[in-house]
Structure 1
Amino acid sequence: MKQEGIDVIGLGAGEPDFNTPENIIQAAYRSMEEGFTKYTPSSGIIELKDAITDKLKRDQALDYSADQIFVGTGAKHVLYSIFQTIIDPGDEVIIPVPYWVTYPEQVKLAEGQPVFVDTSFEQDFKLLPADLEKAITEKTKAIVLNSPNNPTGISYSALELKALGEVAIKHDLWIVSDEIYEKLYYGDKADLVSVASFGPEFYERTIVVNGVSKAYSMTGWRIGYAAGPKDVIAGMGKLADHMTSNPTANAQYAALEAYTGSQAIPESMYQAFAERMNRFYPQLEQIPGFKPKKPDGAFYFFIEAKEAAALKGYASVDDFVAALLNEALVAVIPGSGFGMPDYIRLSYATDPELFQTALNRIQAFMTK
């Protein structure tokens, strides 16, 4: 529609609307000038691994060595490598609903079986320990935790994370902890912890996943990492040897600068997202039929829109989303892709005034 000249506003972006900070761009440029354009080790350069271990120690009091770090071509590739390494055919992986769309597909690609456990608006879309316990069978191999969460923007508290981790440890499960939105958390900093930090048993069963995409606006550079037990990391490295070889060399040097250089721009991005969230959330509450949940991380609003669809005479939220696109010229993501078809996701990782215009269009659509 945009190619046809139609003025569509897209609120589906899963990436910051800022450019990569200049110091990071220049670091990549210098690396190319200095000849760092060749193959690197499949699981990443040692300088970047050391910077990641320093970051984990500094931010989350986690102690890792370089041979416990795997650097991949984005957090998505890292997650794929984890599932290919730890999952055997028929193994079950517990995934709380709503979920990022890629988790179940990657489990299936590893010939595993995704097991979905529902959450609700009333419980802040958080998995409860009792529900986790009920979902575990003799085939269960792992659980995926994503905090702050995509699509909801909701985060677990330290106590909530620990309670889920205790259930996983009791049943000898792997905990795949996707922490890619870690730097975009607006709540109590005392709760900004990794499940791996609660003690040796948690540490030994957790595989931490993170990267530079969201915090440093480097989605296109494709650098993510895993931190975990040496045998798992070694297995992921063997897989990379025959699947991708190394992550792009100059992107690794850019990521090195992200972790070791100035943090002023990432901090300003964080402040901008927090301001947008606080500006727009009250307006969403005023739109007829919208029932938003206030996020405490990431850059998404997850909104129950079943009543809005009914008010406009649509049988499903998917149909409502299509009408928003065609009539209001606003593109949002339907919740069906995240396992909750009565919801929609709006990304405020976009120009604030454009987002405001989109909200005005939605309001007009609902009230005309």
Structure 2
Amino acid sequence: MTDRAIQLREQGVDIISLSVGEPDFATPPHVIEAAKAALDAGDTKYTAVGGTSRLKQAAALHFARDLGIEVSASQITVSAGGKQAIFHALLATISEGEEVIVPCPWWVSYPEIIRFAGGSVVPLMTSARDNFRFTAADLEAQIGPRTQWLLLNSPGNPTGAYYPADMLRSIGEVLRRHPRIMVLSDDIYAPINYTGEPHATLANLCPDLADRILTISGVSKSHAMTGFRIGVAAGPEWLIRAMEKLQSHSSGNPCSISQAAAVAAFEGPQDFLAEWCERFRARRDMVVSAINAIPGLSTPTPDGAFYCMVDAAPLMQRFGDDTGLALHLLENGVAIVPASGFGGRNGFRISFAADEAKLTEALRRIAKALA
């Protein structure tokens, strides 16, 4: 959808894109200055494959301060974005036919990475009436003899689903009964939390399980640094070393300049995050209200991230499927992503990581297109 929107824009068509999960805020000035300083200092050479010692120490500060996870630098690796860390973790550990339980709707890359690694995707279905969250009983029902991993994404893409501490503890109880299962906890959206509660992380709440939990974080969403391509992962040392071995052959070290910028992001001022989160919250409330006022559309209120998963089932007879609906909206000047791209159906995802004026106009166009 993003590619189609770009093509239409190049043809002079006015398209508002709500299809990309990218904060519209400017990267903080102290981060930009750190990148410039690294260039001026000539930090343009290879670094250690898994990241500089300085960045690993800064990431350890981030994990402790923001996620409540105490880890040493030896338990951390740095990659070219969180996606690369997920890719290497699954590729290093999945044997042919082993299963990975993934809550659905899911982020588009999860099933593709699992299949590339030779694994099988086991969908853990969720629904809007439960705010797209699964229960401990739902999880236990999906566990089989070949289950290797559980993937958690909280707050989640594409639903904004957030797992509070009590739900994570109950999930931990299930995992204790199945000691072979590892957990990939994708916490990249942790700073964008509207619950008023501190972010809950499985590795913090269930420290006895920490030796089989890999926690993914980064600077892309929290510091508007998507183009810098820096992700960080914390977990057991044996897994971190295996991931770094793969990285040594796939890409080598992450960009040296981006690493210097990420140090500044983790160690520098964090006060702007509260303001950004409040801006996102106001946008969320505006989008949820407007969507629920359009006949045929509905969405729950997400607890985190900057996405709404919209149900459009009443409109499917008119458009055939959610791709047909998405193309209709694109023809009317708004790019969104059909739910089928996330393992869902009969709906679409909206990103509200766009300024208020664009959101207001996009919602007006959607209402008009469906009237």
TM-score, scaled to structure 2: 0.95
Identity rate of aligned residues, in percent?
A: 37
Structure 1 equivalent of residue 340 of structure 2: 336
8 A contact 1:318–1:341 mirrored in 2: no
Match of 1:181 among 172, 189, 199: 189
**Residues of 1 paired with 2:326 and 2:160: CA distance?**
20
Deviations 1:74-102 (A, max 9, x none): 00001001101121222111001110010
8 A contact 1:27–1:257 mirrored in 2: yes
- The alignment partner of 1:189 has SS state of coil
1:128 positional shift: 1.7
- The alignment partner of 1:168 has SS state of helix
**Residues of 2 paired with 1:349 and 1:91: CA distance?**
36
8 A contact 1:300–1:348 mirrored in 2: yes
Worse-superposed segment, 195-204 or 330-339: 195-204
**Residues of 1 paired with 2:359 and 2:275: CA distance?**
19
Structure 1 equivalent of residue 5 of structure 2: none
8 A contact 2:192–2:222 mirrored in 1: yes
Match of 2:229 among 208, 222, 226: 222
8 A contact 1:314–1:320 mirrored in 2: yes
1:188 positional shift: 3.0
Match of 1:236 among 217, 238, 243: 243
2:327 corresponds to 1:355: no
Structure 1 equivalent of residue 329 of structure 2: 324
- Unpaired runs of 5+ in structure 1? none
1:61 positional shift: 2.6
8 A contact 1:92–1:142 mirrored in 2: yes
1:138 positional shift: 1.0
8 A contact 2:22–2:353 mirrored in 1: yes
Alignment of 1:245-324 (within 5 A): 245-310=252-317, 313-324=318-329
8 A contact 1:125–1:152 mirrored in 2: yes
Code of the residue aligned with 1:234 in structure 2: it is R
Matched pairs, number: 363
2:10 corresponds to 1:10: no
- The alignment partner of 1:362 has SS state of helix
**Residues of 1 paired with 2:286 and 2:196: CA distance?**
20
Code of the residue aligned with 2:183 in structure 1: it is I
8 A contact 2:334–2:365 mirrored in 1: yes
1:238 positional shift: 1.1
**Residues of 1 paired with 2:120 and 2:166: CA distance?**
29
8 A contact 2:172–2:206 mirrored in 1: no
8 A contact 2:107–2:158 mirrored in 1: yes
**Residues of 2 paired with 1:35 and 1:103: CA distance?**
37
Code of the residue aligned with 1:360 in structure 2: it is R
Alignment of 1:71-110 (within 5 A): 71-110=78-117
Alignment of 1:115-194 (within 5 A): 115-172=122-179, 173-190=181-198, 192-194=199-201
Q: What is the RMSD computed on CA atoms of the aligned residues?
A: 1.2
TM-score, scaled to structure 1: 0.96
8 A contact 1:11–1:332 mirrored in 2: yes
**Residues of 1 paired with 2:147 and 2:224: CA distance?**
35
